Structure 1
Amino acid sequence: MNLLADLRAKQALYSQYGQSCSLARAIFADGTLANALYRMQAALVRWRLAPLALLPHWLNKCLNGCVLGVHAQFGPGLVLIHPVGVVINSAVRGGRNVWIESGVVIGDNRGRTPMLGDDIFIGSGAKIIGGVTLGTGARVGANAVVLEDVAPGVTVVGIPARPVDARRTAAT
């Protein structure tokens, strides 16, 4: 079940800095309702009940302030860390363990939408626009605007987003 995998990923996120996170804490943390409504919406689409998927879609918009396209697809381990302001186009495809902060926009440009690999982190306010691909393990910094592909394991920052020089950041 994808929702359980999402909760396990949220536990991993919250546990990475020391104290372990219980499943109960993950359930009551910010963003879990948005994840559950998204998974409900995705299940209704899978069961060919797309018109009914508009109900959890609408609830997510009203209760969580986020818009997750009815046909957007993410693998297990999706974490909406803070869902407010998140907007994701219906044609977006994401892999496993995609972690998304608040205010993120993942959108279409001229009919082309982003493809996200596995183990992706997207920082607050980031924009990922058009037919770009984020490779496995990519990281997008806060407020970055991604208009070009991001290679696997690379961190990008800035407007437009550019790779971070690992040697420069290690020295600072």
Structure 2
Amino acid sequence: MFADDGAHLSLLRLLLTDGTSATFLFRLSHLCSRGFLSPLGLIFQILNKWFNGCVIGVKAQFGKGLVIMHPVGVVINSKVVTGERVVIESGVVIGDEKGLSPTIGNDVFIGTGAKIIGGVTIGDNVKIGANAVVVKDIPSNCTALGIPAKPKQ
């Protein structure tokens, strides 16, 4: 993703960015939580909280291409399910309400400080604006803005 904008980054610098380490630690915790290594998964989750300032539930399901741009303040519930190529900015909360968690499609961008709460469904090719609060379903191919967030075509 960084290489797409023409930036020249070494592999070491790419691996040491906070977003890459947050994604890596989440993937490790998720992998460990599936089997008898659950305690190790919780350790990776705690490390992610300490080093990156984010809390991502070990059972959250993300497809390929997850990008956490700036993980500080990111909180994601364990029951969240997403598609592929989801980009998350800082301060994003994706949370449960009354036992229901969001389902997020493919190619979704979630702006800084956005909140997605409850059993809502976010379609494919959606951009959620900074500080938007999503409490209702958002259809595919649109941008959601405001409090509460409303889709704009």
TM bracket, shorter-chain basis: over 0.9
Q: 1:19 maps to what in 2?
A: 6
How far apart in 2 are the matches of 1:92 and 1:23? 33
How far apart in 2 are the matches of 1:50 and 1:148? 34
Q: Does 1:74 align with 2:62?
A: yes
User: 1:73 offset after TM fit, Å?
Assistant: 0.8
* Consecutive unaligned residues in structure 1, runs of 5 or more: 1-10, 167-172
| Residue-pair matches, total | 152
Instruction: Give yes or no for contact 2:25–2:48 (8 Å, CA) kept in 1.
Output: yes
Of the three residues 131, 142, 147, the one matched with 1:159 is 147
Superposed, 1:21-40 pairs within 5 Å as 22=9, 24=11, 25-40=13-28
Q: CA RMSD in A?
A: 1.5
Identity in percent = 52
Q: 2:106 maps to what in 1?
A: 118
Instruction: Give yes or no for contact 1:50–1:70 (8 Å, CA) kept in 2.
Output: no
User: 1:29 offset after TM fit, Å?
Assistant: 2.8
What secondary structure does 1:102 align onto? coil
What secondary structure does 1:31 align onto? helix
Over 3 Å counting, the alpha-carbon distance change for 1:48 and 1:151 in structure 2 is farther
What do the CA deviations read for 1:103-152 (whole angstroms, capped 9, x no partner)? 00000000000001111100000000000011111110000000001101
Q: Does 1:88 align with 2:72?
A: no
* Consecutive unaligned residues in structure 2, runs of 5 or more: none
Q: 2:96 maps to what in 1?
A: 108
Q: 1:64 maps to what in 2?
A: 52
How far apart in 2 are the matches of 1:115 and 1:48? 27
